[in-house]
Structure 1
Amino acid sequence: MIARIEIESFCHATEDEKKVLEALKNLTDAKFEKNNVVGHYGNPIKIYKVRITRKKDINDFLTLFNKIDKNILEPIEERIDEKGRFYLRLDKQSLYFGKFVIDNEGDVHIIIKIVSYPLRREKVIENAKKILGY
């Protein structure tokens, strides 16, 4: 079972905010929260975040996730921490065009919290493989 999915991305001053939002909409219809911050050099940055907890929204996301070629991922064990969180990054520009491209330097950060009882990393990995289709 998945407890939640968190998605976060940045919109820099050099990017078209509408295109960034369109890219994120390719992942979920959930409403993103926007925070305006200032970068190290005084540049404006918008941070978009959403926490998905509704079962329907989680299932919709998983349907999209299943389109990703998981063979290009390093072993799932390297993407899961001891608290049951699965980490993934996607390329924002590809996402804008509806393509789900995994990129370890990607601008779209995704954390999937996987429920496991008891909370042992090995059990989380086992559950993640079932849920995420590995």
Structure 2
Amino acid sequence: MHRALVQVVSARISAIVHATENPEKVIYAMRQACPQELFQSKPERRGLRGHYGNEISTVTLSLRGRPAGLFFSHLARILPSGDRETLLNDLDTRLDEEGRLHLRLGKEQCFRGALRLKDQDPIKILVSFRKSSDPGLRLAEDIRQFLDIPLDHNGSPSDAKVR
């Protein structure tokens, strides 16, 4: 049986905080997607001005190395099966030319603890993978295999290795 090897290098979780939103609630929603114990640093906040001069800010949580791989495994486990199926079907359009996976989760749904793929008012997730030196390997296929395999009782992939 083929064992997919998906090596996650980093993950970035970010969201825009509008002037009408409580930044702590947005951070709480972001942390619903990623367990607190995986964070290596505090959220980074940046103040910005919107298109119409309104005050907005961005909040970013960054993971590198093993915590990033654990985050990706966690995300694969907690996404509803319908959203995972959507991700499998749309995977080629969610990978950029550098092999980074772009996901968007609904901010409000995350706040309620129900992670769902959604493009409006999203929490953005960017996952970077180590590129293979073997040109015959396709990152999209390895990710697709990883997402499509059964998970064990701990929520870990039972037939793939994530580092």
TM-score range, shorter chain: 0.7 to 0.9
Q: Which residue of 1 aligns with 2:110?
A: 95
Q: Which residue, 122, 131, 140 being the options, matches 1:125? A: 140
> How much has 1:123 moved relative to structure 2?
1.3
For structure 2, the residue ranges without an aligned partner over 5 or more in a row are 1-6, 150-163
The CA distance in 2 between the partners of 1:60 and 1:86, in whole Å, is 13
The CA distance in 1 between the partners of 2:134 and 2:125, in whole Å, is 21
Give the TM-score normalised by the residue count of structure 2.
0.72
Q: Which residue of 2 aligns with 1:63?
A: 74
* CA distances 1:8-53 after superposition (whole Å, capped 9, x unpaired): 1011011122211110121232221000111122211110012210
* Equivalent pair of 1:36/1:44 in contact (CA under 8 Å): yes
2:78 matched to 1:72? Answer: no
2:21 matched to 1:15? Answer: yes
> How much has 1:80 moved relative to structure 2?
1.1
Per the alignment, do residues 95 and 109 of structure 1 end up closer, same or farther by CA in structure 2, a change over 3 Å counting? same
Per the alignment, do residues 131 and 51 of structure 1 end up closer, same or farther by CA in structure 2, a change over 3 Å counting? farther
Which residue identity is paired with 1:59?
A: L
Q: Which residue, 57, 61, 65 being the options, matches 1:50? A: 61
* Equivalent pair of 1:91/1:102 in contact (CA under 8 Å): yes
* Equivalent pair of 1:7/1:111 in contact (CA under 8 Å): yes
> How much has 1:106 moved relative to structure 2?
4.3
Give the TM-score normalised by the residue count of structure 1.
0.85
* Equivalent pair of 2:29/2:108 in contact (CA under 8 Å): yes
* Equivalent pair of 1:39/1:45 in contact (CA under 8 Å): yes
For structure 1, the residue ranges without an aligned partner over 5 or more in a row are none
Q: Which moved more, 1:108-117 or 1:49-58?
A: 49-58
Computing the radius of gyration from Cα coordinates, the structure with the larger value is: 2
Q: Which moved more, 1:16-25 or 1:74-83?
A: 74-83
Q: Between Structure 1 and Structure 2, how many residues are aligned?
A: 134
* Equivalent pair of 2:8/2:65 in contact (CA under 8 Å): no
Which residue identity is paired with 1:112?
A: V
* CA distances 1:40-84 after superposition (whole Å, capped 9, x unpaired): 222111100122104135304422332212123343122112211
The CA distance in 2 between the partners of 1:86 and 1:36, in whole Å, is 26
Q: Which residue of 1 aligns with 2:51?
A: 40
* Equivalent pair of 2:11/2:68 in contact (CA under 8 Å): no
